[in-house]
């Protein structure tokens, strides 16, 4: 599974509006940046209390990325 698909599936399982989730992948000087856009009312669910949920997502993607030899960054945006 590609990292983009992994990010998308993970976030879609957390939100109340999965159809509003989009993930854009950009390569910024050797670092893969994943810009995740969700509905405004789902931002809190994706970030979680004290940022714990988004931190877990970032750790998971970072581990998968390092296994593939890539540095990764996950950013959350409201629609």
Per-residue pLDDT tens digits for 7-25: 999 999 999 999 999 999 9
Average pLDDT, the chain: 93
- Confidence class for position 30, pLDDT limits 50, 70, 90: confident
> Is pLDDT larger for residue 48 or for residue 79?
48
Confirm if 21 and 37 have CB atoms less than 8 A apart: yes
CATH architecture of structural domain 3-78: 2-Layer Sandwich (3.30)
Confidence of residue 1 (pLDDT cuts 50, 70, 90): low
**Residues contacting 56, CB < 8 A, separation 6+:** 48
Q: Which helix (H) or strand (E) holds 70?
A: none
Q: How far apart are CA 74 and CA 79, in angstroms?
A: 16
Give CA–CA dist 53/20, Å, rounded: 19
């Amino acid at each position: 599974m590609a990292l983009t698909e992994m990010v998308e599936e993970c976030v879609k399982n957390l939100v109340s509006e999965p159809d509003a989730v989009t993930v854009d992948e950009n390569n910024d000087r050797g670092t893969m940046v994943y810009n995740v856009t969700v509905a405004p009312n789902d931002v809190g669910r994706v970030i979680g209390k004290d940022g714990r949920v988004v931190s877990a997502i970032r750790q998971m993607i970072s581990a998968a990325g390092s296994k593939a030899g890539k540095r990764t960054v996950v950013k959350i945006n409201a629609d």
